[in-house]
């Protein structure tokens, strides 16, 4: 007997029910229902909540009225930190006038040598101050992963309350799941040496968010 | 059971005795405990800021896990179908040896010489690193704690903080040796530099490995997806860069929907580290899509039984709800007296005291269900409400039913039952015992060293009564 058959036989014996197709129909109905668990009540405006949560997770946040102002703000941030003005960028935000602000950006997947990665995001989650990024030809996952500095552009209109709302938006706009959904909440961290938290474990050491749209 | 051959759980008492005298370990544990407990308490308390209640979330999480377990055959079928439809391959493994065979086969098919690993407790159950090394494939652990433990040639002592038993000096010695540099004197101010050093070494492994191996915190049936929760970003690395990704998970890890996953995520990181969310939560579905520049060309799920299916429908089914947050060990007085290695197998703490006998054989882990003070701290913090002390009690009962207790214990209990069943005899024996103990104490009210059980008085005195039994005292008071 194959491992699959043997394991499933044991599982069926343990479950101890026979009406498989009826139970399968119930399972399908349950999935279609998309029932949510207890939902949080978020007091503040979503953008305010998102900003304060993101900051509490060690991201820095700059608020701008217009997305067109992002390149100048990014240039200021990079210059102030001494991080250099070269960046790898995802296609969804490559169209802004980066060169006009003195940046040299390349829209391609990131490599080890890239110091700065600039991305947009599919949406952001206010509850936890989290970015939701989807992998795709225009938005390689490496851009938010390999460089030491990750800068993400977030539109206030794309901030949703919860992870459940983010999934609902994804289903509405995209249907299927991409290969990778990455929820990112601040710079990578480790506490594995004597429980001391260090930022910059394997992913970015710093995450800077540019929040554009209305002023939170 | 094949898992039993790697278990040292039968040597629990000897190992425990050694660990309580290990001053370095004791210092590390004493430092970690208040951090673990404090962070979780803060994380759970913060739920109320959003008007969320821990008990209501717990019930929701418990229900989600129970829903899957009571129809696991159905959910496995749905997951398998949808994972395959998304382009992944699904393999099944009865035990650890079969996991190893699958992984080595996949590695050989793709010419793999090096595999980077994100933390997978199932790969510890299977002793996968040994099997890979024997097949000429280099396994590199990339979770910093796992990396430290791998360099030391040890196993993790905690499921969330694998190197919790290591001091900064231990880590420095291991890094110096592995990275080919002299040992330096390190203080906690150097920890960022040490993490940086590991980052640089491991980055090269991430870039060059042909295969990534990970576990999955959950499998989402609706979409055929693996959910991976990490803080370091190593989970993202091993599932983004190599051309092959192997996911090794237990068959019980399924949750029905993305919504259910979101519910569980409100308690998993909080229970583990007190975080409202972990830094990286990745949902991985299928393989690299047309036009994608990254992601594996081949994704393989290995769905593992290794003792799990036998718990379905048994008195221990509740244990399969476990989401491996580690809160039970973080709140266990026994764990913090001994550390994780004393438990002798993959899972330490209360979780291990239940899982090890169930997965490696009750007869191969006789002491573990007794490694409990019965305080129920574990049961009260468990995010999926597993009644851990009750399960340990059930295992103890099963030891008695199967005649696995030592003859002296069975004899003693039989003798006690005989005496306790005859009131006159009982009172006579108790009178003799009370007089004897009082004589031993020489009227001082306590015994320094009790010859019949010297272990009890090794670190304390045994208080004794004045030489009168309870019955005698009660009768005297009634007369007065």
The pLDDT of residue B2 is: 58
Say whether both A78 and A158 belong to one domain.
yes
DSSP string computed for B269-300: HHHHHS-SS-SEEEEEESSPPTT-SSS-SEEE
CATH number, domain at A134? 3.40.50.10420
Q: Does A59 touch chain B (CB under 8 A)?
A: no
What are the contacts of B425-429 at 24+ separation with CB within 8 A? B427/B469, B427/B471
A31 versus B449: which is more confidently predicted? A31
Q: Cβ–Cβ of B94/A195 closer than 8 Å?
A: no
Q: Cβ–Cβ of B50/A42 closer than 8 Å?
A: yes
Nearest Cα of chain B lies from the Cα of A81 at a distance, in angstroms, of 19
User: How long is chain B?
Assistant: 480
Residue B77 tokens read as 């079928």
Query: How far is A45 from A216, CA to CA, in rounded Å?
Result: 8
Interface test with B, best of A122, A131, A170, A179 (most B CBs within 10 A): A179
Q: Does B162 touch chain A (CB under 8 A)?
A: yes
Residue in B with minimal Cα distance to A6: B94
Owning domain of residue A84: 46-212
CA B349 to chain centre: 6
Say whether both A119 and A185 belong to one domain.
yes
Residues from chain B contacting residue A162 (CB–CB below 8 Å): 262
Q: Is the CB of residue B115 less than 8 Å from the CB of residue B210?
A: yes
Residues from chain A contacting residue B76 (CB–CB below 8 Å): 8, 11
Say whether both B196 and B302 belong to one domain.
yes
Say whether both A59 and A135 belong to one domain.
yes
Say whether both B163 and B303 belong to one domain.
yes
The pLDDT of residue A216 is: 47
Residues A46-85 pLDDT 10s: 999 999 999 999 999 999 999 999 999 999 999 999 999 9
The DSSP output letter for A139 is S
User: How long is chain A?
Assistant: 216
Q: Indicate whether A39 belongs to any domain.
A: no
Q: Indicate whether B100 belongs to any domain.
A: yes
- The domain boundary, picked from B271, B293, B309, lies at B309
Segment A161-174 shows an average pLDDT of 98
Measuring CA to CA, which residue among B434, B455, B379, B368 is closest to residue B404?
B368
Residues B67-101 pLDDT 10s: 999 999 999 999 999 999 999 999 999 999 999 99
Q: Cβ–Cβ of B284/A109 closer than 8 Å?
A: no
The pLDDT of residue B356 is: 97
- The domain boundary, picked from B275, B309, B343, lies at B309
Q: Cβ–Cβ of A7/B305 closer than 8 Å?
A: yes
Residue B468, SS3 per DSSP: coil
Say whether both B154 and B289 belong to one domain.
yes
Query: How far is B296 from B287, CA to CA, in rounded Å?
Result: 6
Q: Indicate whether B244 belongs to any domain.
A: yes
What angle is formed at CA B349 by the lines to CA B256 and CA B389, rounded to 5 degrees? 75
CATH number, domain at B259? 3.40.50.10420
Rg (CA), chain B: 26
Residues from chain B contacting residue A109 (CB–CB below 8 Å): 293-294
Query: How far is B447 from B454, CA to CA, in rounded Å?
Result: 11
Say whether both B129 and B276 belong to one domain.
yes
Q: Which segments of B182-257 are extended strands (E)?
A: 211-214, 218-220, 225-230, 244-250, 254-255
CA B179 to chain centre: 30
* pLDDT surpasses 60 at A215: no
Residues from chain B contacting residue A112 (CB–CB below 8 Å): 203, 207
The DSSP output letter for B307 is T
Residues B218-249 pLDDT 10s: 999 999 999 999 999 999 999 999 999 999 99
Query: How far is B389 from B377, CA to CA, in rounded Å?
Result: 9
Global confidence as pTM: 0.94
Segment A113-136 shows an average pLDDT of 98
Residue in B with minimal Cα distance to A1: B94
Say whether both B152 and B268 belong to one domain.
yes
Q: Cβ–Cβ of B72/A53 closer than 8 Å?
A: no
Query: How far is A21 from A67, CA to CA, in rounded Å?
Result: 52
Q: How far is CA B112 from CA A8, B44, B108, B211, B369, in A?
A: 31, 43, 6, 6, 41
% of chain B residues with pLDDT over 70: 99
Total domain count for chain B?
2
Total domain count for chain A?
2
Nearest Cα of chain A lies from the Cα of B8 at a distance, in angstroms, of 25
Nearest Cα of chain B lies from the Cα of A198 at a distance, in angstroms, of 6
Q: Is the CB of residue A27 less than 8 Å from the CB of residue A19?
A: no
Residues B409-427 pLDDT 10s: 889 999 999 999 999 999 9
The pLDDT of residue B3 is: 67
* pLDDT surpasses 90 at B387: yes
Residue in the block written with tokens 């104490």: B441
Say whether both A27 and A90 belong to one domain.
no
Q: Cβ–Cβ of A137/B162 closer than 8 Å?
A: no
Q: Cβ–Cβ of B231/A13 closer than 8 Å?
A: no
Residues B346-382 pLDDT 10s: 999 999 999 999 999 999 999 999 999 999 999 999 9
Residue B479 banded pLDDT, cuts 50, 70, 90: confident
- The dihedrals phi and psi of B175, each to the nearest 5 degrees, come to -65, -45
Owning domain of residue B474: 407-479
Residue in the block written with tokens 């007190």: B274
CA atoms within 13 A on the CB side of A140: 26
């Amino acid at each position: 007997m194959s491992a699959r058959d043997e394991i499933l036989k044991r599982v069926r014996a343990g479950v101890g029910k026979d009406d498989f197709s009826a139970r399968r129909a119930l399972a399908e109905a349950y999935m279609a229902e998309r029932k949510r668990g207890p939902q949080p009540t978020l007091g503040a405006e979503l953008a305010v909540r998102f900003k304060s949560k993101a900051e509490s997770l060690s991201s820095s946040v700059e608020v701008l009225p217009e997305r067109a102002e992002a390149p100048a703000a990014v240039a200021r941030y990079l210059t102030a930190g001494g991080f250099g003005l070269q960046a790898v960028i995802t296609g969804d935000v490559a169209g802004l006038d980066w060169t006009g602000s003195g940046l040299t950006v390349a829209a391609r997947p990131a490599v080890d040598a890239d110091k700065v990665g600039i991305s947009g995001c599919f949406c952001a989650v206010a509850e936890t101050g989290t970015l939701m990024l989807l992998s795709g030809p225009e938005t390689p996952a490496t851009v938010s992963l390999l460089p030491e500095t990750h800068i993400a552009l977030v539109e206030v209109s794309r901030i949703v309350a919860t992870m459940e709302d983010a999934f609902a938006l994804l289903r509405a706009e995209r249907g299927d799941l991409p290969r990778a959904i990455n929820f990112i909440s601040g710079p990578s961290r480790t506490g594995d040496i004597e429980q001391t938290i260090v930022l910059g474990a394997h992913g970015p050491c710093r995450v800077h968010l540019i929040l554009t749209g209305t002023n939170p | 059971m094949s898992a039993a051959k790697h278990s040292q759980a039968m040597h629990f008492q000897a190992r425990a005795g050694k660990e309580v005298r290990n001053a370095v370990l004791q210092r590390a544990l004493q430092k970690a405990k208040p951090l673990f407990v404090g962070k979780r308490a803060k994380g759970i308390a913060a739920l109320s800021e959003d008007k969320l209640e821990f008990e209501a979330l717990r019930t929701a999480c418990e229900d989600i896990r129970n829903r899957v377990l009571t129809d696991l055959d159905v959910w496995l079928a749905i997951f398998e179908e949808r994972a395959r439809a998304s382009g992944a391959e699904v393999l099944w493994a009865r035990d650890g040896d079969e996991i190893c065979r699958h992984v080595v086969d996949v590695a050989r098919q793709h010419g793999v010489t090096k595999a980077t690993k994100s933390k997978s407790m199932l790969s510890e159950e299977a002793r996968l690193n040994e099997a890979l090394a024997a097949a000429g494939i280099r396994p590199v652990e990339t979770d910093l704690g796992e990396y430290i433990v791998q360099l030391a040639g040890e196993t993790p002592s905690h499921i969330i903080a694998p190197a919790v038993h290591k001091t900064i000096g231990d880590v420095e010695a291991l890094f110096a040796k592995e990275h080919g540099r002299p040992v330096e004197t390190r203080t906690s101010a150097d920890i960022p530099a040490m993490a940086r050093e590991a980052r640089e070494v491991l980055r090269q492994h991430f870039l060059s490995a042909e295969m990534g191996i990970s576990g999955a915190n959950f499998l989402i049936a609706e979409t055929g997806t693996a959910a991976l929760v990490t803080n370091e970003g190593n989970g993202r690395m091993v599932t983004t860069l190599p051309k092959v990704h192997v996911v090794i998970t237990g068959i019980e890890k399924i949750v029905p929907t993305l919504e259910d996953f979101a519910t569980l995520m409100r308690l998993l990181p909080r229970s583990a580290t007190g975080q409202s969310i972990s830094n990286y939560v990745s949902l991985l579905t299928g393989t690299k899509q047309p036009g994608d520049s990254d992601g594996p060309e081949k994704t393989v799920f290995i769905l593992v039984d290794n003792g799990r299916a036998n718990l379905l429908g048994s008195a221990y089914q509740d244990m399969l709800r476990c989401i491996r947050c580690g809160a039970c060990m973080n709140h266990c007085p026994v764990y913090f007296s001994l550390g994780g290695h004393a438990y002798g197998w993959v899972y330490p703490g209360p979780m291990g005291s239940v899982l090890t006998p169930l997965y490696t054989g009750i007869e191969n882990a006789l002491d573990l269900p007794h490694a409990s003070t019965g305080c129920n701290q574990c049961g009260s913090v468990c995010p999926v409400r597993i009644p851990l002390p009750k399960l340990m009690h059930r295992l103890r009962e099963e030891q008695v039913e199967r005649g696995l207790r030592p003859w002296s214990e069975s004899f003693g209990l039989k003798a006690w039952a005989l005496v306790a069943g005859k009131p006159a005899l009982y009172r006579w024996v108790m009178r003799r015992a009370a007089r004897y103990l009082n004589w031993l104490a020489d009227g001082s009210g306590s015994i320094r060293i009790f010859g019949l059980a010297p272990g009890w008085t090794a670190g304390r005195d045994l208080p004794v009564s004045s030489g009168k039994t309870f019955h005698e005292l009660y009768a005297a008071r009634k007369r007065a």
